Structure 1
Amino acid sequence: MQLQPEQEPLMYRILATALALLCLATSAHAMSFNKAIKQADPTAKYLFYLHGAIVEEMGKAASSKRYGVYNYDRIIEHFEDRGLTVIDEVRGKVNPNKYAAKITKQVRMLMTAGVPARNITVSGFSKGGYITLLVASSLNNPEVGYVIMAGCGRGKDARPFELFLKNKRGARLKGRIFSIYASSDMEAGSCRPAIEQADARAIEFRETRIKSQKGHGLFYQPRPDWIEPTAIFAKGGR
């Protein structure tokens, strides 16, 4: 189709508007903590999402030969589609204890800004899940929620979790804790050994072992078998 001269400016304006809306749609899903704290809403359900170590190394384009593409953006979008306000950060390589201290501070700031503790959930996968466990042992608040996705390591990845147990960090756990892992995962398993160190009066704990052949890669994609229960938990359900 050939445009007449008088039609060209209108068509360009339409295309420019469409492009601007597309850019807004593709960038609006992610919320930095700085933006979240400025727009703190006491009625919103907040979910901190802490990604796995592979994203530290490769960025959002992370891909594993064994597990395939880590679909970071789609995971965030699926949580937001379920009514959650997601706070995320693509971090570089970090010390888990130092990063857990950062997230702990951010959760406290969000509560100080008026967000009820029960409206806040910290979630993480793999290394992010282990960091989530560290936050749960640092924040000292029984109302905050935590979702640990394949974050209690075993096998070749067991050392951080073993140190957590050896140092009796489980005794400091507080909060509503939900652990999820795949039955075929050779890199992570049950978080129950940490829970057994905790004061039962300070925690609510449940754990789901998903029957899946995806192993650790189960959490690389926004699959309903873990996205849905995580979102339900973060919104206050069981």
Structure 2
Amino acid sequence: MKYLLILIIGLMSCSQHKISKNVKDQDYIFFLHNKYLETHNDGDYDTVYKTKIEYSKVLNSFKKDGFIVISEKRKPKTDGIKYAKKVVKQIDSLINTGVKPNHITVVGTSKGGYIA
């Protein structure tokens, strides 16, 4: 399973930008979005916070900065503790394949920050 994750991550990153380093030496970022995106679409306007949801722009910005981005749109009412455990398993998988912990970053906004 852990090798499948690395293969998928590697393939995703190859399609986004040239890899000049070994996969183990890449910088990985887990981005965990806010609760609003669980029930709305990327690009929707949040009338409460008066802002447009720009999930893909955030992901693309990380990619342009050279990160291999690991992120997904969570399902509505996702349990934060269970989701955090899922992310921990993904991080452990990266570390078990030789990625150094200092090459892994976890960030989030709002509910995603709580999970992170």
CA apart distance, 1:127: 0.1
Q: CA RMSD in A?
A: 2.0
Which residue does the alignment assign to 2:6? 37
Which residue does the alignment assign to 2:32? 50
Which residue does the alignment assign to 1:75? 58
CA apart distance, 1:82: 1.0
- Normalization by structure 2: what TM-score? 0.78
C-alpha distance after superposition, 1:123-158 (max 9, x if no partner):
1100000000xxxxxxxxxxxxxxxxxxxxxxxxxx
Identity %: 32
State the alpha-carbon separation in 2 of the partners of residues 34 and 95 from structure 1: 26
Which residue does the alignment assign to 2:80? 96
CA 1:62–1:85: 2 relative to 1, 3 Å: same
State the alpha-carbon separation in 2 of the partners of residues 117 and 86 from structure 1: 15
State the alpha-carbon separation in 2 of the partners of residues 118 and 41 from structure 1: 14
Structure 2 stretches lacking a partner, 5+ long: 11-21
CA apart distance, 1:79: 1.1
CA apart distance, 1:35: 6.7
State the alpha-carbon separation in 2 of the partners of residues 54 and 34 from structure 1: 32
Residue type of the partner of 2:60? Answer: E
Residue type of the partner of 2:110? Answer: S
Structure 1 stretches lacking a partner, 5+ long: 1-32, 133-238
CA 1:74–1:121: 2 relative to 1, 3 Å: same
Give runs of aligned pairs for residues 122-141 of structure 1, distance below 5 A.
122-132=106-116
Q: Matched residue pairs, number?
A: 100
Q: RCO higher in 1 or 2 (8 Å CA, sep ≥ 6)?
A: 2
Which residue does the alignment assign to 1:60? 42
Residue type of the partner of 2:6? Answer: I
In our comparison, the structure showing a higher alpha carbon Rg is 1
Which residue does the alignment assign to 2:98? 114
CA 1:77–1:47: 2 relative to 1, 3 Å: same
